[in-house]
């Protein structure tokens, strides 16, 4: 019998705010706590939790302290990524044990056995346009070294800013800047690569620019289905979600779970049980 795949739980765009504040009337901490409890109770066999950036809404100390409290009982290792709403320096002070590279970027390579997870820190505090993402030459060199160590095994790349266009021009305008070199590096890898991102606050998947990708939505507020929207300030209260990645020698299967819907659903009789 084939080995069971390695299971990862993935949350993106938590946007934690200060106590008493909200985002379009929603409490991001309550949403994340609900989703995290659902994920951990439904998937006790998960090996790792991956948080894909925009951990906080304004990068403030109190907001990272709230994150620490929310993660206090998580029984598995956590991979942290930075998003455009984060503050790398503040995060690193509060989470000194988070993996970083010598360049100071919050990113890591995780050997999952038959596969590898590589996280990339796309936060650019001086971004132009604001909120867009970037990778430095040092990060791309680090990535190339990681890919060499992966030796052809399936590789999951986790990064906050998508390296592909999504059809939302406003969000595409603040995606990863200059993605060509990253695409070339990943396209040249001799094994399978799948890219998983956040940032857009909507579930999207596809294969573009030579990359297969999945974008996950937030546990809190979402991007409405307004293809062609030229701005970025639309947020709606659609159900929050987290991702479940099954990683194995065949590659990666990405599920999404709308946890509030799942909790409210009434279990039905199995129609195949006779
Ligand atoms: Fe976000």
Q: Are 178 and 152 in contact (CB under 8 A)?
A: no
What are the beta bridge partners of residue 105?
Answer: none
Beta strand pairing call for 251-257 and 116-120: unpaired
| pLDDT at residue 268, as a whole number | 66
CA trace torsion 208, 57, 31, 46 (10° rounding):
60
CA of 57 to the centre of ligand 1 (A): 8
Q: What is the whole-number distance in angstroms between the Cα of residue 241 and the centre of ligand 1?
A: 13
- The DSSP code for 147 is H
Cα dihedral: 167, 169, 173, 177 (round 10):
20
Find the 76 Cα to ligand 1 centroid distance in Å: 24
| Alpha-carbon distances, residue 196 vs 46, 207, 213, 239 (angstroms) | 17, 12, 6, 20
Q: In 3-state terms, what secondary structure has residue 33?
A: helix
Ramachandran category for residue 6: left, alpha or beta (phi over 0 → left; psi -120 to 50 → alpha): beta
Residues β-bridged to residue 133: 176
**The pLDDT of residue 1:** 43
CA of 2 to the centre of ligand 1 (A): 37
Q: How far is the CA of 268 from the centre of ligand 1 (A)?
A: 35
Measured distance CA(11)–CA(76) in Å, rounded: 14
User: Is residue 200 helix, strand or coil?
Assistant: coil
Q: What is the DSSP letter of 53?
A: S
Find the 255 Cα to ligand 1 centroid distance in Å: 20
**What pLDDT does residue 184 have?**
98
CATH H superfamily, domain 12-263: Metallo-dependent phosphatases (3.60.21.10)
Low-confidence ranges of the chain (pLDDT < 50): 1
CA of 146 to the centre of ligand 1 (A): 27
CA of 136 to the centre of ligand 1 (A): 21
- CA 101, 118, 68 angle in degrees (round to 5)? 70
State the distance from the centre of ligand 1 to the C-alpha of 199, rounded, in angstroms.
5
């Amino acid at each position: 019998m084939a080995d069971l795949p390695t299971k990862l739980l993935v949350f993106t765009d938590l946007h934690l705010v200060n106590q008493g504040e909200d985002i379009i009337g929603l409490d991001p901490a309550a949403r994340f706590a609900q989703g995290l409890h659902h994920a951990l109770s439904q998937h006790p066999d998960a090996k790792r939790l991956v948080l894909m950036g925009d951990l906080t809404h304004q990068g403030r100390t109190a907001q990272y302290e709230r994150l620490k409290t929310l993660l206090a009982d998580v029984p598995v290792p956590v991979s942290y990524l930075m998003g455009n709403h984060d503050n790398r320096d503040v995060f690193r002070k509060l989470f000194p044990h988070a993996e970083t590279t010598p360049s100071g970027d919050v990113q890591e390579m995780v050997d999952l056995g038959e596969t590898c997870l590589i996280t990339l820190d796309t936060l650019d505090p001086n971004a132009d346009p604001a909120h867009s993402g970037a990778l430095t030459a040092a990060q791309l060199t680090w990535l190339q070294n990681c890919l060499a160590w992966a030796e052809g095994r399936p590789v999951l790349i986790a990064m906050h800013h998508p390296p592909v266009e999504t059809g939302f021009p406003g969000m595409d305008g603040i995606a990863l800047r200059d993605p060509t070199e990253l695409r070339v590096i990943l396209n040249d890898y001799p094994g399978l690569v799948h890219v998983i991102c956040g940032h857009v606050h909507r579930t999207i998947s596809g294969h573009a620019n030579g990359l297969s990708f999945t974008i996950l939505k937030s546990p809190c507020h979402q991007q409405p289905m307004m293809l062609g929207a030229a701005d970025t300030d639309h947020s709606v209260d659609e159900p929050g979600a987290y991702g479940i990645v099954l990683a194995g020698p065949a590659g990666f299967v990405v599920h999404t779970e709308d946890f509030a819907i799942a909790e409210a659903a009434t279990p039905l009789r199995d129609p195949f049980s006779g």
